[in-house]
Amino acid sequence: QVQLVESGGGLVQAGDSLRLSCAASGRTFSNYAMGWFRQAPGKEREFVAAVTWSGSSSYSAASVKGRFTISRDNAKNTVYLQMNSLKPEDTAVYYCAAKEGRIATKKWEYDYWGQGTQVTVSS
């Protein structure tokens, strides 16, 4: 089992930045590819970004590319999502997720999920 706890969400204005963190415990963190997803009210949970177990490669959704950066620190068992130039449409609950093996963009490929952290961007 892997336990994931997100933090760092909040209420910000358009154009501001936030950094989300996801702390992992349980099994060896470096065995897992990590992803960030988000879910806005009334919408499906969607992929935001993912990073390989080593941190050497990552992939981001087109909607956040150039604004959001995913990274990880295996020594701290933590994955981050740096969010810059935030927009009102980025408002959502943000979830981190873990999976063994390769990086992935589909939510059903992930085995473990955190409880989420709310990000609200006002215009």
pLDDT band at 111; cut points 50, 70, 90: very high
- In the predicted structure, residue 93 carries a pLDDT above the cut 90: yes
Write the CB contacts of 42 (distance below 8 Å, at least 6 apart in sequence). Answer: none
pLDDT band at 30; cut points 50, 70, 90: confident
The string of pLDDT tens digits covering residues 35-48 is 999 999 999 999 99
The CA distance from 69 to 52, in Å, is: 13
Q: Which pLDDT does position 1 carry in this prediction?
A: 86
- In the predicted structure, residue 26 carries a pLDDT above the cut 90: no
Write the CB contacts of 62 (distance below 8 Å, at least 6 apart in sequence). Answer: none
